[in-house]
Amino acid sequence: MSDLKSNDLFDLAGKVAVVTGGAGLLGQVFCQALATAGANVAIVDLDKKKAAAAAAKINKAAKQKVLAVECDIASPDSVSSMVKEVVNQLGRIDILINNAASKGSNLDQFFAPFENYSLQTWREVMAVNIDGQFLVAQSVGNQMKTQGGGSIIQVASIYGVVAPDQRIYKGSEYNGRAINTPAVYSVSKAAVLGLTSYLSTYWADSKIRVNTLTPGGIASGQNSEFNNKYSNRVPLGRMGEASELTGALIYLASDASSYVTGQNIIVDGGLSAW
């Protein structure tokens, strides 16, 4: 196979990609990577202003389109309206990055100890992290069926695969706040893996591929205490950068992975190997 043909496998020119949580830390990096690969991109986020700002920052070719769409993925009506708007504006949906996640409305409650964790907070987080993924996959999947196929990439977390090491959290902070990984986060991300497995076989005859992208720890404002402790748990000896997820993302979105479905691509510096 020539170099040109190899490169063509990763070309997304003419494709339409939807990224939920598109104005967030990972979402913005994903949107830029998809645009760089040639896709038209719908940046879907609860915050329309942030989505529009993210769209304005994307470097794209002259004929490419980048659309900012407001959506509450925990609302069936909002999700349905989002899909209709994307199809009306961009014509179709070929790629879904099911990425949006939430820590709920109260960070103190989100980081509370398991022994007195609030059921209300649990349900609030689950409503986005797994119910929202279900609703978006359901609506976009229906659209993809009418088109004859597509690629769905569901974003999970390393803590949906392995348990967090509780020892690393003493003295650890994120933007000045003491942090941990609560059970609701791990459980919601583990559920993403189950949803991926199910949908990959359910929609296989509709030519819809469904895979999971699982990031390890990404450097994004943690203090040096956390960074050092986490890095010591990783074979490659450091935290990851958001940009290091984009190779796997484009692979799963493109024809390069045309025979890949039901898989979990883990990008974690080797953490899960130990």
Any alpha helices (H) in the chain, and if so which ranges? 3-8, 25-36, 48-57, 76-90, 107-110, 119-129, 131-147, 183-202, 224-231, 246-253
User: Is 272 considered catalytic here?
Assistant: no
Catalytic-role residue among 15, 159, 189, 251: 189
Catalytic-role residue among 102, 151, 157, 257: 157
Residue 48 CA to residue 6 CA, distance in Å, equals 37
Residue 72 CA to residue 192 CA, distance in Å, equals 18
DSSP 14: T
What is residue 21's three-state secondary structure? coil
Catalytic-role residue among 159, 169, 185, 230: 185
Residue 217 CA to residue 206 CA, distance in Å, equals 34
Whole-number Cα distances in Å, 4 to 16, 28, 64, 79: 22, 28, 22, 38
DSSP 62: T
User: Is 157 considered catalytic here?
Assistant: yes
The CB density around residue 29, as the number of other CB atoms within 10 Å, is 19
Residue 245 CA to residue 121 CA, distance in Å, equals 29
User: Is 6 considered catalytic here?
Assistant: no
Exposure class string for 228-244: b at 16+ Cβ within 10 A, else e = ebbbebbeeeebbebee
DSSP 116: G
The alpha carbon of 240 is separated from its chain's Cα centroid by a whole number of angstroms, namely 15
Query: Which residues does the annotation mark as catalytic?
Result: 157, 185, 189
